[in-house]
Chain A
Amino acid sequence: MTALLLISLFVIFSALGLPLAFCMGITATAGLLFSGFGSPAVAAQRIFAGMNSYALLALPLFLLAGNILVAGGVINRLVVFADLLVGRVRGGLAQVNVLSNLMMAGVSGSATADTAALGSVMVPMMSARGYAPTFAAALTTSAGIVAPILPPSLIMVIYAIPTRISIGALFLAGVVPALLMSAAFMAYVRYACRHHPLSEKRESAQGLARATIHALPVLMAPVLLVGGIRGGVFTATEAAAVLVAYALALTMVLHRSLKLSELVGILHDSALTTASIMLMIGTSSIFAWYLAIEDVPQATRALLDAATDNRYVFLLIVNVFLLLVGCVLDTVPAILIFVPILQPAAVAFGIDPVHFAIIVIVNLMVGVNTPPIGTNLLVISGIAGLRVGSVTRALLPFYAVKVAALMVITYVPFISLWLPRYLGFGP
């Protein structure tokens, strides 16, 4: 009865627009008070302890590095480079879009930041070369979902905290699925743009060399990062700090495309984003504690056990459930609320926790592009000046591509687990 009351409270308050961090805090505190566990000091201590983690320091740093690179105009260099590589085939500029998104994902951990930055460059450019603006917007926001799947990834840092999975293992596990998804988008673009006229212009070998040199520092970053973490040289947090230094050196010293005064704004902006995510992590730790006291994870496991004893059916149920969740909840709260509940059940069904993490993340990334609450869908519609409805219509075939990729990633664990195992993480 209490639980039902609390769930309705949570749903109503969040529907009314109260920030989710506070919705979680209110519900959990009320629940704890009902069960006689809550005291103010314990609540404050839980929030503090939930945020007091060395690994979480990677979050503001990856965020900051991504924002510095975006503000420093790194995207333009990547787009020029991608244009030289794949711009001359049929639907070339659309392929450039997918490739630029993939390259940007290698240094940025947030799909929203990438979508906003690339959208403002690619949508006008594609419209000018005769692509439908809605197609350009849908493609940009779709291709952008690889950002949190390819390392570095803010979402993976957050996922690793309650589940105690190694961030390094998660980072490596995301590489092949991200490449697979980009390849799927490229294949779809090839089909969708098969009647598109070819572009005539040819670049000289000199131009190619210059663009490569310009793009190389950015392309090297993910290699250094993953190599450093894998080789035990850095922790993920140290890698994030190094990436910040690298981004500063690149934009302020090498390219001189970022002024010191702009940096203050970037720091402030990154701090606010960090606070909004971290507060959710803090209040979700009271929430998780309340769920544990109420035995919700065990009850969910029992429910799923009763529903099926087949792990493939289990994965299907989880995927459908999370796709629905992703339509209304943002990725971070969805992970903080549902992963502590679903993860033990997945392990009980014999699914590798790292593989399960990739399934959950890829699944929720489909949701960032779905109405009514698709953060990136709203962002790209705002930037392109298009109605959400018309972008959604253009997104329909992309949903099919994404769900197909999700199914392959779900039912072929090898795709996610090959690289981390090959490099010595896990069994």
Chain B
Amino acid sequence: MKSAARLVRRIVDGLLVASLAVIATVLCLQVALRYGFRSALPWPEELSQFLLIGLTFLGSWSALEHGRHIGLDLWPARAPGALPRALRTLSLLCAAGFVGFVGIGGLDLVQSAWSRPSTAMRVPMGVIYIVIPVSCALMLVYFAAAAWRGGSVSTGKDQ
């Protein structure tokens, strides 16, 4: 179980680094082709946009794990009393419900767009949408586990 979680983390980390590297590379390539050789490629923009969305969904899970999301925390986690604790658990359950809701929507999108090709690369949109249910499932597990432990989400270690 532990090693499986570690493997998922490593894969996601690798995907995040690779996505950003590819975005930067293909867009630089596109600039060079457009202004150097006057022949732009049709796909770099679309590829980069899809990679950015994939990076955002997977990275949102990773950012939860690293405490890198932007948040307030005016009411510190150490605040004693049953009410803050109950409300905190409620907030985590609502967040789990929200990512579950979006994840189901993502599955719907995968199914309905399975054979619809994208504009430039002609990749089935269903394949692109897969990142939504996968990331939402990861975030769902995170929020459910946090609610179970009675913990909270740490935020704001960095903007």
Chain A interface SS verdict (over half): helix
**A39/B105 in contact, CB under 8 A:** yes
Distance, CA A232 to CA B81, complexed state (A): 60
Instruction: Determine whether A61 belongs to the interface, using a CB cutoff of 8 Å to chain B.
Output: yes
Closest to A330 in B: B70
Chain B hits for A51, CB < 8 A: 52-53, 56
Distance, CA A250 to CA B30, complexed state (A): 21
Which of A130-138, A212-220, A271-279 faces chain B?
Answer: A271-279
Chain B hits for A61, CB < 8 A: 23-24, 27
Instruction: Determine whether A362 belongs to the interface, using a CB cutoff of 8 Å to chain B.
Output: no
**A16/B84 in contact, CB under 8 A:** yes
In B65-109, the 8 Å CB interface with A consists of 66, 68-77, 84, 87-88, 91-92, 94-95, 97-99, 101-106, 108-109
Contact string against B for A residues 221-263, beta-carbon threshold 8 Å, 1 for contact and 0 otherwise: 0000000000001100110111011000000000000000000
Instruction: Determine whether A45 belongs to the interface, using a CB cutoff of 8 Å to chain B.
Output: yes
Chain B hits for A274, CB < 8 A: 20, 52, 55-56, 59
Interface centre among B87, B95, B103, B153 (most CB of A within 10 A): B95
**A328/B23 in contact, CB under 8 A:** no
Interface size class of A (residues with CB under 8 A): 35 or more
Chain B hits for A42, CB < 8 A: 105
Distance, CA A17 to CA B70, complexed state (A): 9
Instruction: Determine whether A20 belongs to the interface, using a CB cutoff of 8 Å to chain B.
Output: yes
Closest to A275 in B: B59
Chain A hits for B62, CB < 8 A: 271-272, 275
Distance, CA A373 to CA B112, complexed state (A): 43
Chain B hits for A375, CB < 8 A: 156, 159
Give chain B nearest CB distance to A230 CB in angstroms: 15
Instruction: Determine whether A106 belongs to the interface, using a CB cutoff of 8 Å to chain B.
Output: no
Question: Contact partner of A271 among B17, B27, B73, CB < 8 A?
Answer: B17
**B52/A233 in contact, CB under 8 A:** no
Distance, CA A48 to CA B125, complexed state (A): 12
Give chain B nearest CB distance to A355 CB in angstroms: 26
Instruction: Determine whether A417 belongs to the interface, using a CB cutoff of 8 Å to chain B.
Output: no
Distance, CA A378 to CA B66, complexed state (A): 18
**A44/B75 in contact, CB under 8 A:** no
Instruction: Determine whether B63 belongs to the interface, using a CB cutoff of 8 Å to chain A.
Output: yes
Instruction: Determine whether A36 belongs to the interface, using a CB cutoff of 8 Å to chain B.
Output: no
Give chain A nearest CB distance to B112 CB in angstroms: 7
Contact string against B for A residues 269-293, beta-carbon threshold 8 Å, 1 for contact and 0 otherwise: 1111111111110100000000000
Known: A13-B94, A276-B70, A278-B56. A244 touches B24 (CB 8 A): yes
**A20/B152 in contact, CB under 8 A:** no
In B27-52, the 8 Å CB interface with A consists of 27-28, 30-31, 34-35, 45, 48-50, 52
**A275/B129 in contact, CB under 8 A:** no
**A276/B17 in contact, CB under 8 A:** no
**A279/B56 in contact, CB under 8 A:** yes
Question: Contact partner of A20 among B24, B72, B77, CB < 8 A?
Answer: B72
**A40/B105 in contact, CB under 8 A:** yes
**A19/B159 in contact, CB under 8 A:** no
**B31/A242 in contact, CB under 8 A:** yes
In A8-24, the 8 Å CB interface with B consists of 9, 12-22
Chain B hits for A372, CB < 8 A: 74
Interface centre among B84, B99, B109 (most CB of A within 10 A): B109
Question: Contact partner of B72 among A14, A43, A276, CB < 8 A?
Answer: A14
Instruction: Determine whether A422 belongs to the interface, using a CB cutoff of 8 Å to chain B.
Output: no
Known: A17-B72, A25-B98, A52-B53. A110 touches B159 (CB 8 A): yes
Chain A hits for B60, CB < 8 A: 21, 275-276, 279
Known: A44-B106, A244-B28. A16 touches B56 (CB 8 A): no
Known: A53-B49, A56-B52. A328 touches B94 (CB 8 A): no
**B105/A54 in contact, CB under 8 A:** no
Closest to B58 in A: A275
Instruction: Determine whether B1 belongs to the interface, using a CB cutoff of 8 Å to chain A.
Output: no
Known: A241-B24, A275-B55, A276-B68. A26 touches B95 (CB 8 A): yes
**A268/B55 in contact, CB under 8 A:** no
**A272/B155 in contact, CB under 8 A:** no
**B158/A112 in contact, CB under 8 A:** yes
**B74/A373 in contact, CB under 8 A:** yes
Distance, CA A20 to CA B62, complexed state (A): 16
Give chain A nearest CB distance to B143 CB in angstroms: 8
Distance, CA A40 to CA B133, complexed state (A): 11
Closest 9 pairs between A and B when the two form their complex, measured CB to CB:
A275-B59, A44-B105, A40-B105, A19-B69, A17-B73, A241-B27, A278-B56, A41-B108, A271-B16
Which residues of A approach B to under 8 Å, CB–CB? 9, 12-22, 25-26, 29, 39-45, 47-48, 51-54, 56-57, 60-61, 64, 110, 112, 233-234, 237-238, 240-242, 244-245, 264, 267-280, 282, 328-330, 332-333, 372-373, 375, 378
Which residues of B approach A to under 8 Å, CB–CB? 13, 16-17, 19-21, 23-24, 27-28, 30-31, 34-35, 45, 48-50, 52-53, 55-60, 62-64, 66, 68-77, 84, 87-88, 91-92, 94-95, 97-99, 101-106, 108-109, 112, 129, 132, 152-156, 158-159
